[in-house]
Amino acid sequence: MDSPGLLAAAGVIAFCAFFIRGYTGFGASMIMVAALTFFWAPAEVVPLIFLLEVAASLALVPGAWREAQWRSLWLLWLGMGVATPLGIFLLTWFAPETLTLVIAVLIALAAAAMLAGARNAGVPGRVATLAAGGVAGAMNGAMAMAGPAVVLFYFSSPAGVAAGRASLIVFFVLADLLGAGFAAGEGLYDRQTLLRTAILALPVLAGAYAGSHAFRFAEPETVRRFALIFLIAMALARVLSIAAS
């Protein structure tokens, strides 16, 4: 049985993580996995996060639906679906720590280049979009981390921050529903997990709403810079965690 103090701490973490999710369109899962695994086992945390992400998506999607770039979303989903087995195959050739280290460094370098001013001159075509989805799928299969590739894709696009954020929100709906479905199929949802989900749902929804509200009053470039700095910080945290282990 979880103590009230532990659940209160988890609630604060959930609010902060989903504030960032509402503000930028991504990031909650990275924070939640890093923080909640201090309290609970990863096998308990990941299924919980899938359900909380779905709950947040239900709150955020209505406001993002019209601005989402549906053409690119379908291509990204297709590329991700095709390439996810490739990521799983890579695990048979390379150690997970090696793959994580290489990918984290590449993410940090790409985000730093974008922070310095590098952007796509035009809207990415079908091949480039499918390729981005393929990279996301390979990362998803290799290390369960499809998000960074899609974040870099949208925040380097000339379509604008609002369209990129909306597209990220919609993109993660399918990813989280699939994740929750697979977790359910593996029997990972017990009474304890469902109880934690019910308790944390309120701070999750409050954080997502507050972040979404803050986005409405933010300058697009401020949101973009925050998102890229956050991505660099998460990538470097991965590198440091591997170096320390």
Cβ pair 166, 154 in contact under 8 A: no
Alpha helices for the chain (secondary structure H): 4-24, 28-36, 42-64, 70-90, 96-115, 126-143, 147-155, 161-185, 191-216, 220-244
**CA 101 to CA 219: how far, in whole Å?**
33
Query: Do the beta carbons of residue 158 and residue 106 sit within 8 Å?
Result: no
Sign of CA dihedral 119, 101, 131, 223: negative
Q: 122: pLDDT confidence band, cut at 50, 70 and 90?
A: low
Domain of 110, in residue numbers = 4-244
* Structure confidence by residue, pLDDT tens digits, 154-200: 888 777 888 999 999 999 888 888 878 878 887 889 999 999 999 99
Q: What is the mean pLDDT of the chain?
A: 86
Q: How many domains does the chain have?
A: 1
140 touches 147 (CB < 8 A): no
